[in-house]
Every structure is written in C-alpha cells, then in structure tokens.
C-alpha cells in the first residue's frame, strides 16, 4: 500500500478540485498578476513566498483561510542539525554527516541520497534563515529522551538518534520555537513570525481564497489559478473565519463537533465565494498541506488508520495533490502515514515490554512514538499493551510529574495508570487483558533474558533500556487505539517533484511547466517516516527550493507568446532549472 499512487483526478475523491481550464494568457481577464503565486500559507508556503520575495518577485500568497495552516496548530518543532547556531550555543556537537547517517534510516528511498545530503548540509543555514525571519529559540537543552520537552527547553532529542547511536553519533536536533502554548503544546510559535516577515517583505496575502483549479495555456503549461474568494469584510467573511477557527480547535479536542463546523465553512464558500483568476508569470507553488481530513481519500488509501485521530486542519483535503494530478502530475505514497503513540513520559514506560493481544512484542519500546505508532497501526491492528512489573509500575507512578511532562501528556498518562489492570501472575494478567497467556509468558521470559544480558534482544533494544519484569504483581497498561489515550495520524504522501527544483513531474519524469510543490503536498524528506520536526523542516527546505526556482523562472526573458520558462536558459540552466533545457 505504501507505494500507492494516483495519476487521474478521479482517483482522488473529495478534494473539490476541478479539471484545469485552458485559457489564453494574453486575453484572459486576470484579477491580478504576479511573478510567483504560492497556494497555502503553512510552513512550506510561507517559506516559498519569503524566498521568492527576497529575490525581488511580486508574490501572491493564497490561502483558503487566514494562513498558518496545520503548521499553526503544530508543536512547532523544527528538525535541524549539522551544527546549527542553537546547537553550538548550547554546547552540542553535531555534523551534517552524522545527521545524514541517522536520517537515512528514517527517510530511506523517499528522496535520493544526494537530496538528503543537501537537506543536512543546508540545515544550519536554513535554521539561520528561520531565525533571521523572526522565529526565536531562547530555551535550554533537554538532555534526556522525551516525546516533547517541558516549557523552557528549545533543543531535545526528537527522533531515534539515541537508539541509533551505533549508526551515528547522536545529537539533539528538535528545535522548539519560543511561544508555544503552555497548556496545549500547540500554536503558531514557528509559523507566526514567518507570516509577519512575509508581510513585511511585501508578499501580498490573498486570504479566504480557495484555489479550485489550475489555468493552463494550449500547451498545458500552468499560467495561473482560479479560486473562490470570500469578501473578508462583512458577515460571510467573519463567519468563515469564525467557523474555520472553531473547526480546527474542535478537530483536536472533540472531533465529532468539527464535522458540522466544516460543513458550515463549505456552505459559506459555496454561497459567497466569487470567482477570481490570478496570473503567475514564473510559477505556481502548491503548498496546500496533506489530506488527512479527506475521508474519501483516507478510506481509500489509509484504511488501517481509520480508528486513529486525524491530526490536521480544515485545509487538509488533498487539494494541492489533486491540482497537481489534474495537469498530469503523479501522486505517490498515498498509503504512507505516520501514527503517533507516545509512551514517554513517564520515562519508565519505555523500559516495559509492549505487546499486542497475541502476546507478541513487535517494536523496540525505546524508539520514538511515531515509529511505535506506525508499526502498531500498520501491522498490529492498533494494539499496544505495556507490561510492567511492580517495581517499574511504582517507579512510573512516582516519577510522573509536571516537571518532566507537559500537562496534557501528564493527564493522559495519569488516566492510563488509573485504568491499568493488575494480577499476581503473568498468566492471570494475560487472561484479564485477553492476551494469549502462553505466548505472553514466553515473550516476557525472552525479554527478561535480554534484560539480564544473557542474549541480545530480538528487536535490538539495549540492555540499559530494559528492566527485568520479575516482581509481582504485574501490570498492564492498554494504550491501543481507541482506548482513551490518543493515537493520532497525519499523511505523508504527495506529488512527485524534481528534487533539485521542486517542479511537479509527469509520469514520464518531465516537469510540468509553471508548477511546483512543497511541504506535505509533495514527496519530500518526511514522506517515508516522521520524527518530530521533520515535516516542518521539510516544509522550509522544499518551500525555499520551490520559491527559488519559481522566481528563477519568472526572471527568464520572455519570448513572444512563450511562457517564461521556455525561454533562454542562462542562469536558470546553470542552476539546474528544469524548464531551461
């Protein structure tokens, strides 16, 4: 399923995207004309917009809502390394090579090795670019492993670096922006300053404007977009902002309420959206996010994740992916998602044995929560039961506090501890939890042998990360999907793009003229697996790349009646611009 792809609009139901319209770019009545149009103002879109504006372009930045997207509801972690200024300031040694060797295990074939190498080599400069555009990091280093550090920390181990120490020297690379909300751990801490910077740099925001189709010339080159725009002033504009904001909060706190609010948003768009057409001289950058809130697409491509909580905002309908496919692009890895099942804090839980109802361990419990969650949803029916002995259980109760856990995490862990089941023997515990008792006893016997150092652990867990489970009574904490505690999911698939330029590619591998994609709309560094911060980092990397090349294409001399990127190659060709060949 991971490699599932789509090349036809009909294979992407529920996006609301229409087939492209062929126009004459010279006689069309354009609402406005830009060098570069960016669709979507999350991490990827705002990076593309700033990059193009920095190159002197007139940039129109379209967003269906008020900008920020899912990035504004995220934990604002940016994965960066190779010696960033924050790493240096906090005394952390890192190198692009160590970052690359570790990330290879996460990224695998999602992008070419040379692209990943560039992502790592560019990482310190991209981090400086982010801070130059206003994002702040003033906290400390959180030295041990956690799923999300408490307030006052700006740098932590946000992936599997420690567990992969044999491959590369571990370094903390999760850069956490100042200003994240204390209670929820979500907010616009990262994207907010970038949006302000874009505004200062002259990027023209076209908000409450939903792109519904691409406009192409008679050669199939993308020359602009058509969108439905809600007048910002007036009752419809106000209600659209209100319902969409409420829907995004509801999606995180009480998802059933979000559906009705989204329907109201769509109703307003149908009723009050007026058609606008914007011309893009250099290119359109699709940065519309992923598709986790498109039920039709997730049912089709991600059925195993059905019971997980959809983490996203109203714009996550896959419209960017569909826009690309509508003009000949290819959508890949639509069956790839990341599910998050964090079990740390409390720091003692990863020392337990995590089993499914077969009584089988299936993952090294010391790994990152998305590595655990994705395995759990992909291959183990969403089952995740922690087995602890009495020593470990009591330690986890004693060690869980608000100094090492954020409030929401603390609350969830407290709840899970309260619902734990207990028994004097493993066999009785298995029966209480409907786990295969014979298999469970064997699993724990093997686990204990590895914990004593008598044999290596079959799942590669290090002895120091294990605890021998021998002291009765035994305890089971059920963290399976749908069991109170939350397992959430986001999508990772997107449009196939040229890894040098971000141009959207056809099935033949040729670029579609005038069209770029970035962030979760595109295949990128985060399209195989997620570790905290990788999606936003990919948004900056791929967004800047797309903004740069769209700007380059706008700068190319225009031949009579030719789109910019078919003209003389020059600098663009030297830089590898796909349209300059």
Q: What is the binding site for ligand FAD (CB under 6 A)? A: 39-45, 62-65, 67-71, 73-77, 186, 210-211, 287-289, 311-312, 315-316, 319, 490, 519-520, 532-536, 539
Least distance (Å) between residue 140 CB and ligand FAD: 18
Instruction: Using the minimum distance from each CB to ligand FAD, give the nearer residue, 342 or 579.
Output: 342
Torsion angle of C-alpha atoms 557, 563, 568, 574, degrees rounded to 10? 100
Minimum Å gap between C-beta 559 and ligand FAD is 31
Q: Please, what is the Cα angle at 184 between 180 and 188, to 5 degrees?
A: 35
Q: Closer to ligand FAD at the Cβ: 61 or 577?
A: 61
User: Which residue lies nearer to ligand FAD by CB, 79 or 410?
Assistant: 79
Tell me the C-alpha distance between 410 and 578, whole Å.
50
Phi, psi for residue 316 in degrees, rounded to 5 = -80, 65
Sort 370 into a burial class: Cβ within 10 Å, 0-12 / 13-18 / 19+. buried
Measured distance CA(100)–CA(526) in Å, rounded: 14
- Which CB atom, from 513 or from 520, has the smaller least distance to ligand FAD? 520
Among residues 124 and 188, whose Cβ is nearest to ligand FAD?
188
Instruction: Give me the least distance between CB of 180 and ligand FAD, in Å please.
Output: 9
Q: How far is the CB of 238 from ligand FAD (least distance, A)?
A: 17
Residue 384: closest CA among 365, 397, 366: 365
Residue 333 backbone class (left: φ over 0; alpha: ψ -120 to 50; beta: rest): left
What is the rounded distance in angstroms from the CA atom of residue 517 to the CA atom of residue 547? 9
Distance of alpha carbon 296 from its chain centroid, rounded? 20
Least distance from C-beta 287 to ligand FAD, angstroms?
5
By beta-carbon proximity to ligand FAD, the closer residue of 342 and 549 is: 342
Q: Nearest CA to 291 among 306, 311, 308?
A: 311
> Smaller CB distance to ligand FAD: residue 268 or 435?
268
Q: Shortest gap between Cβ of 520 and ligand FAD (angstroms)? A: 4
Q: Is the distance from CB of 66 to CB of 207 less than 8 angstroms?
A: yes
Q: Closest CB to ligand FAD among 534 and 553?
A: 534
Contact 349, 477 (CB under 8 A): yes
Q: Could you give the count of Cα atoms lying within 13 Å of 125 in the half-sphere of its Cβ?
A: 8
Nearer to ligand FAD (CB atom), residue 77 or residue 405: 77
Minimum Å gap between C-beta 258 and ligand FAD is: 13
How far, in Å, CA of 544 to CA of 564, rounded? Answer: 20
- Tokens 């300053």 correspond to 193
70/364 with CB nearer ligand FAD:
70
Using only C-alpha atoms, what is the Rg of the chain?
A: 24
Please, are residues 29 and 277 in contact by the beta-carbon 8 Å criterion? Answer: yes
State residue 185 phi and psi, 5-degree precision: 65, 20
Closest-approach residue to ligand FAD (CB) = 42
> Shortest distance, CB of residue 430 to ligand FAD, whole angstroms?
35
Q: How far is the CB of 542 from ligand FAD (least distance, A)?
A: 9
CB of 61 to ligand FAD, least distance (A): 9
Q: Which two tokens stand for residue 133?
A: 């555009």
Tell me how far apart the alpha carbons of residues 279 and 221 are, in angstroms, rounded to a whole number.
12
């Amino acid at each position: 399923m991971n490699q599932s792809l789509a090349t036809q609009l009909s294979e992407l139901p529920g996006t609301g995207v229409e087939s492209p319209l062929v126009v004459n770019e010279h006689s069309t009545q354009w609402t406005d004309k830009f060098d570069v149009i960016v669709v979507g103002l999350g991490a990827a879109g705002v990076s593309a917009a700033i990059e193009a504006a920095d190159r002197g372009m007139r940039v129109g930045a379209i967003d269906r809502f008020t900008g920020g997207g899912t990035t504004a509801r995220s934990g604002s972690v940016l994965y960066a390394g190779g010696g960033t200024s924050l790493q240096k300031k906090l005394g952390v040694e890192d190198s692009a090579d160590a970052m690359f060797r570790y990330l290879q295990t996460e990224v695998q074939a999602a992008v070419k090795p040379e692209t990943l190498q560039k992502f790592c080599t560019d990482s310190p400069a991209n981090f400086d670019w982010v801070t130059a555009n206003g994002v702040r990091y003033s906290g400390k280093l959180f030295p041990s492993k956690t799923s999300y550090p408490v307030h006052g920390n700006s740098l932590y181990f946000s992936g599997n670096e420690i567990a992969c120490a044999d491959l590369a020297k571990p370094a903390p690379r999760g850069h956490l922006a100042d200003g994240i909300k204390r209670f929820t751990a979500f907010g616009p801490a990262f994207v907010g300053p970038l949006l302000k910077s874009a505004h200062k740099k002259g990027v023209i925001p076209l908000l409450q404007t939903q792109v519904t189709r691409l406009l192409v010339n008679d050669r199939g080159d993308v020359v602009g977009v058509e969108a439905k725009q809600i007048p910002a002033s007036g009752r419809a504009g106000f209600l659209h902002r209100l319902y969409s904001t409420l829907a995004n909060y509801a999606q995180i706190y009480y998802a059933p309420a979000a559906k009705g609010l989204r329907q109201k948003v769509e109703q307003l768009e149908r009723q009050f959206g007026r058609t606008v057409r914007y011309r893009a001289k250099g290119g359109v950058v699709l940065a519309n996010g992923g598709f986790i809130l498109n039920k039709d697409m997730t049912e089709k491509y991600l059925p195993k994740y059905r019971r997980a909580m959809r983490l996203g905002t109203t714009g996550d309908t896959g419209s960017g992916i569909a826009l690309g496919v509508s003009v000949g692009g290819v959508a890949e890895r639509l069956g790839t998602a990341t599910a998050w099942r964090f079990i740390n804090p409390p720091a003692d839980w990863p020392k337990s044995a995590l089993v499914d109802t077969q009584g089988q361990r299936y993952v090294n419990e010391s790994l990152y929560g998305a590595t655990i969650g994705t395995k759990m949803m992909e291959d183990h029916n969403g089952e995740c039961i922690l087995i602890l002995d009495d020593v470990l259980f009591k330690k986890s109760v004693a060690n869980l506090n608000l100094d090492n856990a954020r409030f929401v995490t603390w609350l969830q862990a407290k709840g899970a501890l309260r619902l734990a089941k207990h028994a004097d023997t493993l066999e009785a515990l298995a029966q209480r939890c409907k786990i295969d008792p014979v298999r469970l006893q064997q699993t724990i016997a093997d686990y204990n042998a590895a914990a004593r150092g008598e044999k290596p652990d079959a799942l590669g867990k290090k002895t120091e990360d294990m605890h021998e489970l021998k002291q009765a009574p035994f305890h089971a904490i059920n963290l399976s999907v749908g069991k109170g505690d939350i397992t959430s999911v986001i999508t990772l698939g997107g449009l196939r793009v040229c890894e040098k330029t971000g141009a959207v590619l056809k099935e033949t591998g040729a670029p579609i003229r005038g069209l770029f994609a970035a962030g979760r709309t595109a295949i990128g560094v985060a399209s195989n697996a997620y570790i905290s911060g990788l999606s936003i980092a990919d948004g900056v990397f791929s967004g800047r790349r797309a903004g740069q090349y769209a700007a380059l294409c706008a700068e190319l001399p225009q031949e009579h009646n030719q789109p910019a990127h078919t003209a003389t190659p020059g600098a663009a060709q030297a830089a590898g611009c796909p349209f300059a060949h």
